[in-house]
Amino acid sequence: MSPSLFEKHKAQLELATAALATRGYWSAFAEMPSPKSYGETAAEAGKQAFEAHLGKAFELNQPGQTGVHAGEQSPYGTKLDVRYPVCDPQALVEAALRAMPAWGEVGAEGRTGLLMEALQRLNQRSFEIGHAVMMTTGQAWMMAFQAGGPHAQDRGLEAVACAWREQAAIPRTAIWEKPQGKNAPLRMAKNFEIVGRGVAVVIGCGTFPTWNTYPGVFAALATGNPVIVKPHSNAILPAAITVAAIREVLSENGIDPNVITLAVTPHRSATAMLVKHPDVKSVDFTGSNTFGNWLIDHCKQAQVYAELAGVNNVVIESTDAYRAMLKNLAFTLSLYSGQMCTTTQAIIVPADGIATDEGHKSFDAVAFDLGQAIESFLADPKVAHAVLGAIQSADTLQRIEEAHQFAEVVLPSRKLDHPEFPGAQVRTPMLLKCDAQNESAYMVERFGPISFVVKAADAHAAVALSERIAREHGALTAGIYSTRPEIVDAMVRGTWRSKVALSINLTGSIFVNQSAAFSDYHGTGGNPSANASYADSAFVANRFRVVQRRAHI
């Protein structure tokens, strides 16, 4: 069975690994929720499938069930009330360990085939997952579909392809024949067995419950490890659907489905017990520095792959496309109300302003014009709701409330009424401005739609500040707007030291906060915002070990 799934998906796997080698545009899964790609009935069927979960028990048939848990609060204010099984973490670990040897013996080919089959199955459920992501995270529909569905699946496939590339580089067997001059050579037969490290725990976040989870889930599974998914308490449904879909594919193919389980842990102590379990050998995490650093400090038995907070920033030094630049930035700051780990928080502008195709613009003018660009972009409520979505957490709402204390408000955040969801917490972005010295305002992550236009002494100070922010506080994204090659070059060299991905003069429909699987690395793993990258060799290579044996022939 498994070899045939490998054969079934082999052509696509070759395209995926070829894409990794060239890093041009490539995508396995259609990003538009169109009938052409997904079938005439997919949209309606997916919505119904999502709605069928509401108010019901979500069945997973996992071991060690001790109760059920509900409690997801939709940022759209609708009632979800899905009841998930709560399972004893120890029972989940034991079930994972029982499933592990057979999962290892399926081999790299078998696992790759099964996981590509599972990704295809997930893709077919993209509408269902899209609605689940939308209603748990507050993302607007298009983003929820794309980032929650095909883009997440692409990142999952990317991890499978990376893992395949590393595993395929290791021969299963070798004949070792050492010449002995005139004597017969020494000959040995060697076998190289790829074995997973142990149980993997993947901890999801509340904003991107699939996109930020699939890389770890699929990398760990592909390399022979059973996985326990610990979703964010408010974004369980997308994870539950994912786990159910993968379990289904495993079961259909005669594999113990406990290769992947869902750990809904209403109590923190259960999560702590799980991640510190001696048989848990890797933890993937996306979320706060507080918990992320706790994991790194306390889970010494495991390799921790962490994406934490950062202070993403853009330097504006000069531009020959002022309006287009402002529009581009306005979209970035508005998308999902700035609740992306890649959203720009600090926009650094020299104190004496910038040269543009519309003449010189003072620092204050740039800040004002950016505020106006946001206002104008969001003036049409249809556009606003399609872009902003809703605010995911009460913490973010509170941060918006309090932000005016930290700097001078250029553009206040507004509460919008959602035409479809009266209970939705919708907020427009808030823009502030301050001096570079006011580090306490802007040099700490203020997750959500809160950004600062920061006044730097001059262009070089702006570039240096960007580097220092990324080095000391981390950043997943950086941007530069400049018509001067020497400034762009200085910024480029700064990013080599601070290890942050750089977007240069984005004025069209590519945005600094977007990254495309198979081409853009998400995070470099080299500054405090993340110790790993989606997805490079380092993300997969240490998830398995090679155990060799040798004997004379």
Binding residues (CB under 8 A) for a copy of itself: these are 20-25, 101, 104, 165-166, 169, 171, 174-179, 186, 188, 190, 192-193, 195, 197, 296, 300, 492-493, 495-497, 499-510, 516, 519-521, 524-526, 533, 536-538, 541-542, 545-552
Q: Which is nearer to a copy of itself, 54 or 492 (CB)?
A: 492
Tell me how far, at minimum, the Cβ of 541 lies from a copy of itself, in Å. Answer: 4
Tell me how far, at minimum, the Cβ of 428 lies from a copy of itself, in Å. Answer: 27
Tell me how far, at minimum, the Cβ of 515 lies from a copy of itself, in Å. Answer: 9
Tell me how far, at minimum, the Cβ of 300 lies from a copy of itself, in Å. Answer: 8
Write b or e for each residue in 499-518: b if 16 or more Cβ atoms lie within 10 A of its Cβ, otherwise e: bbbbbebbbeeebbbbbbbb
Q: Kindly calculate the radius of gyration of the chain based on its CA atoms and give it in whole angstroms.
A: 24
Q: Which is nearer to a copy of itself, 172 or 268 (CB)?
A: 172
Residue by residue, DSSP assigns 219-264 as: HHHHTT--EEEE--TT-HHHHHHHHHHHHHHHHHTT--GGGEEE--
Q: Which is nearer to a copy of itself, 268 or 493 (CB)?
A: 493
DSSP β-ladder status, 346-350 and 313-316: parallel
d(CA 180, CA 184): 6
- Largest pairwise CA distance in the chain: 88
DSSP β-ladder status, 359-361 and 501-504: unpaired
Tell me how far, at minimum, the Cβ of 409 lies from a copy of itself, in Å. Answer: 32
Tell me how far, at minimum, the Cβ of 79 lies from a copy of itself, in Å. Answer: 38
Structure tokens at 539: 């993300």
Amino acid letter, 149: G
H-run or E-run covering 427: strand 426-427
Q: Which is nearer to a copy of itself, 221 or 535 (CB)?
A: 535
d(CA 234, CA 141): 18
The alpha carbon of 49 is separated from its chain's Cα centroid by a whole number of angstroms, namely 25
Q: Which is nearer to a copy of itself, 45 or 296 (CB)?
A: 296
How many helices and strands in the chain, by DSSP H and E?
A: 20, 21
Cis peptide before 379 (omega within 30 of 0): no
Q: Which is nearer to a copy of itself, 182 or 300 (CB)?
A: 300
Tell me how far, at minimum, the Cβ of 233 lies from a copy of itself, in Å. Answer: 29
Q: Which is nearer to a copy of itself, 78 or 519 (CB)?
A: 519
